[in-house]
Amino acid sequence: MTDKDLLSRFEYFGKRALDYRNKVIGLLPEVHRRKLYLQRDCTSIYEYAKKSAGLSEEQVSRALNIFKNFTNKPALKRLLEEGTVSVNKLSRVASIATVENERELAAKVQIMSQSAVETFVRDIRQGVSEAEIVRTHKPESNSLFAQDEVRLDEDVRVRLVELKRRGIDINQLLRDVLDRRDEEIAQAKDQIADELSESSSRYIPARVRSILKKEYGQRCAKNGCNKLSENIHHTRRWALDPSHNPNYLAPLCKEHHQIAHSIDVEFHEMRFR
C-alpha cells in the first residue's frame, strides 16, 4: 500500500468514525429516557455509554444537557438526535438559542465549521456586551487617544500636542484627514467599478485587491475582528452578478467568510438544491 493510499484509507475511516460518534451521541437521550441501559446490566447511562461506545462522562453530560435545552427547539433537537451536527457545535449555539432563532441557527451550524460557529456566537455575545457598554460607559479622561487603542510615534504626538497648544482643534483636524482618506478611496473604487466589466473569471484583479488593502489593511473587515483576512467576499453573489466591483467586496477572515455565506440565503439554496 502506498503512502497516498494509506492516508486516504485512514482519513476515509476517520471521517466515518466521527459520523458514527455523532449518531451514537444523538441516540443517548432516548436511551437514557427509556432506561435501556438497565437491560445491559449497567447502573447508569454513563456506565453504559462508556462500555458500549467509549464515551466519557463529560460527553454524556453535555449531550443530555443540550437535549434538555432543546426540548422546545425542534430544529436543533432534530440535528442532535439524527447526529447530523456534532455535539460540540450544538453546545456552542445552545447558549444563544431561542424559540425564535433556533431554525436559523440550525441552518447555520450545518454550513459553518466549528471555528466559524465559535466566532459567530462570540460576535453575538460581544454585540450585546458592547451595547450595554455604550449605554453605561463614561470616559474617565479627555485624552486624545486611549492608550490601548492607538499608539502614536513620538514625533507625531509632539506635533499634535504643539498644534493643540496653539489652539487648533486636533479632533477636527484628524476628522478632516480621515474624511479625505475615505473620499479618495471611495472615488478610486467608483473609478475602478466604472472601468470594470462582467467577468467570466473569479480571479479578482490586482487593482481591486490593492484598493481593498488600502481601505481595510491586512485585517478582516468585520468590526472588532483582529484576524488576518484570508478571503475576499462578494456581498453580491458572484454567480448571480459576475462582477468584481470593489464597492461590493470585503476582505474577511475564514470564519467571518463562512458566516457571511451562511447569511446569504441565495448561496444556501444554490449549494443544497
Let me know if residue 87 belongs to a domain.
Answer: yes
pTM above 0.95, yes or no: no
pLDDT band at 111 (very low <50, low <70, confident <90, very high): confident
- The domain total for the chain is 2
CA nearest neighbour of 256 among 133, 79, 108, 130:
108
Say how far apart CA 80 and CA 89 lie, in whole Å. Answer: 10
Say how far apart CA 34 and CA 50 lie, in whole Å. Answer: 18
Instruction: Determine the average pLDDT of the residues in 13-40.
Output: 87
Q: Of 81, 111, 141, at which residue does a domain stop?
A: 111
CA nearest neighbour of 156 among 180, 178, 174, 175:
174
Rounded to the nearest 5°, which phi and psi values hold at 62? -65, -45
Q: Is the dihedral of CA 246, 229, 15, 10 positive or negative?
A: positive
Q: Of 92, 111, 130, at which residue does a domain stop?
A: 111
Chain centroid, CA 156 distance in Å: 36
Let me know if residue 72 belongs to a domain.
Answer: yes
pLDDT, position 264: 63
> Model confidence over 237-256: pLDDT tens digits?
777 777 888 988 999 999 99
Minimum mean pLDDT among 3-17, 85-99, 108-122, 240-254: which range?
A: 3-17
C-alpha cell at 85: 451536527
Residue 232: enclosing H or E segment and its boundaries? strand 231-234
pLDDT, position 100: 92
CA nearest neighbour of 113 among 222, 261, 247, 264:
261
C-alpha cell at 216: 481595510
Let me know if residue 143 belongs to a domain.
Answer: no
Which residues constitute the domain of residue 104?
A: 3-111
Pairing mode, strands 231-234 and 249-252: antiparallel
pLDDT band at 151 (very low <50, low <70, confident <90, very high): confident
> Model confidence over 36-91: pLDDT tens digits?
999 999 999 999 999 888 889 988 998 999 999 999 999 999 999 999 998 889 99
Let me know if residue 164 belongs to a domain.
Answer: no
CA nearest neighbour of 60 among 31, 89, 34, 40:
31
C-alpha cell at 262: 451562511
Say how far apart CA 65 and CA 91 lie, in whole Å. Answer: 9
pLDDT band at 149 (very low <50, low <70, confident <90, very high): low
For residues 7 and 106, state if they share a domain: yes
Q: Of 71, 93, 111, at which residue does a domain stop?
A: 111
Let me know if residue 149 belongs to a domain.
Answer: no
For residues 95 and 21, state if they share a domain: yes
> Model confidence over 190-249: pLDDT tens digits?
999 888 876 667 888 999 999 999 999 999 988 888 899 999 998 877 777 778 889 889
Say how far apart CA 255 and CA 123 lie, in whole Å. Answer: 11
For residues 17 and 95, state if they share a domain: yes
Let me know if residue 152 belongs to a domain.
Answer: no
Contact 66, 90 (CB under 8 A): yes
- CB environment 218-243: b (16+ within 10 A), e (fewer): eebbbeebeeebebbbbeeebeeeeb
Let me know if residue 60 belongs to a domain.
Answer: yes
